[in-house]
Amino acid sequence: MTTRTRFAPSPTGLLHIGSVRTALFNYLYAKHNGGKFILRIEDTDKARSRIELEDAILEDLEWLGINPDEGPSKDGRFSPYRQSERNSIYLDHAGKLLGSGKAYHCYCTKDRLKELTNEQKRAGKPPRYDGKCKSVKNLDLPHVLRLDVNLCGLSEITFEDKVKGKITFLSKDIGDFILLDTDSLPSYNFAAAIDDPLMGITDVIRGEDHISNTPRQIMIQRALGLKVPDYAHLPLVLGEDKKILSKRDDSFSIKSLRDEGYLPSAIINATARLGWAPGDEYISIMKLIDIFSLSRISSSPSSFNRDTLKRYNKDAISGADNAYLAALIKNDFPDTDAEKLELAIAAVKSNCGLIESIKILVSNLIGGNVRTEEAKTVLEDADSRMVNREFMKAIEASTSLGSDNWKEIAKDVSVKSGKKGRSLYGPIRAALTGSTSGIELLEVINFLGRDEVLKRIKEHLGENSGA
């Protein structure tokens, strides 16, 4: 049987690290087993679902390279892939349940339910529907559909979780829950329980906040004679504050991470390590697919950490194409031609953990009059002007400047200025790049060339010349 997994977000928020981890593991598991990865949109909540958010999710997944084999934008034979378009299917199954007496209409008002819950809590009892409407029939009143848990014929539900191991729930601990709401729209549990088997899903891999939903879904599937898929529940992903990542926490959304200059493969590498330990090295997606295994997933929660992300971003940037990186930053350098920009990127990229640092280092090379405060301080020093003056003379005395004679020239300047080390190179670096840090000076000089170096030194010496 072909492995089929699914990622089933609801379009009520942006994709964040936690949901990406779920998507990634589903993808990895499917691909590892030569199967298919399906995207299903769970938009049964009309009030909160937004099509723009669905689009954003699709876009983020595509950007990350987690591409579904089937989904709203890639049709397969199990379409439609939006739950809002599958209502007749749910109604159909609801009818079967009602017909067989395994589900019943409930006419209780929300107020009564709320009161019931409060009462039970006050009495120290678990909040559960009391089954009042079980015996009531065919009233012409608004109603919901509830599953009669007792009539499902299961006193306990046990499933072998592929991550957590054997988990057992007692059906007496589960109240008759809602299948269809007043508007005849399916509840999450009902829709998911039906869609998974109908879409041929073999393995449901999701967050562990769904563990307690699992027995409900299994009950529905059993009651309907549908195939029960295998389940695997992933430990939750926490933020740096140890709190669960929430959809409201935008700082972990893919969009903001992307805006901050993290590359897709870095995000993939960092999220892959949330509950899984494929080693410390930066790993390609192909390799990840190759070595993925659910049995290696940890069962304790993990928290997402930016340092790790940054670490992988450094690898991702060093390994990225110059042209690819150039495309990301070209808007910041409108006056620079593409070739030169790529050259500059090639010179700096191995030093950068963030796209932002590429921008800074590239702009140091390409020029403009940007100077950091530290650089200004260095340049204001009288000795530093002297060093640069000697540097200028040395260059003028030579016809070339580059790898061949850089050492000699530096030595010469050192002797004439009486400076060495930091006080020798600091002023030159500051005059040339406007910064006190950056790539190796020789590389700066090689990139700029003799004429440009001379020009920048002269510009600097010309500044404040009256001082």
| Contacts of RNA in 286-325 (CB under 7 A) | 296, 298-305, 307-308, 310-311
Q: Which stretch binds RNA (CB under 7 A): 30-38, 117-125, 250-258, 319-327?
A: 117-125
Q: Which stretch binds RNA (CB under 7 A): 91-99, 162-170, 384-392, 449-457?
A: 162-170
CB of 399 to RNA, least distance (A): 20
381 touches RNA by CB under 7 A: no
SS3 category, 237: strand
Asked if 171 touches RNA (CB under 7 A), the answer is no
> Which positions from 28 through 87 interact with RNA, judged by CB under 7 A?
42, 44-45, 48
For the CB of residue 54, give the shortest distance to RNA in the complex, in Å.
12
Joined together, the tokens standing for residue 284 give 């390609």
Applying CB under 7 A, among 73, 79, 437, 446 the residue interacting with RNA is 437
- Residue with structure tokens 């949109």? 41
How long a stretch of residues is the chain?
Answer: 467
- For the chain, how many helices (H) and strands (E)? 18, 11
Q: Say how far apart CA 319 and CA 356 lie, in whole Å.
A: 16
Bridge partners (DSSP) of residue 4 are: 36
Span of 51-59, 61-69, 438-446, 458-466 interacting with RNA by CB under 7 A: 438-446
The reply to whether 414 sits near RNA by the rule CB under 7 A is: yes
> Residues 169, 231, 252, 292: which binds RNA (CB under 7 A)?
169
Task: Tell me which residue of 27, 68, 62, 25 sits closest to 271, measured CA to CA.
Answer: 25
| CB nearer RNA, residue 66 or residue 157 | 157
| DSSP secondary structure letters along 276-342 | ----SS---HHHHHHH--GGG--SS-EE--HHHHHHHHHHHHHHS-HHHHHHHHGGG-TTS-HHHHH
Query: Interface residues for RNA in 177-236 (CB under 7 A)?
Result: 177-178, 181-183, 185, 187-189, 208-213, 235-236
Taking the C-alpha atoms of residue 412 and residue 428, their distance in angstroms, rounded to an integer, is: 14
Asked if 403 is part of the footprint of RNA (rule: CB under 7 A), the reply reads no
Rounded to whole angstroms, how far apart are CA atoms 328 and 362?
13
Rounded to the nearest whole angstrom, what is the least distance from the CB of residue 324 to RNA in the complex? 20
Which residues between 250 and 269 bind RNA (CB under 7 A)? Answer: none
Is 438 one of the binding residues for RNA (CB under 7 A)? yes
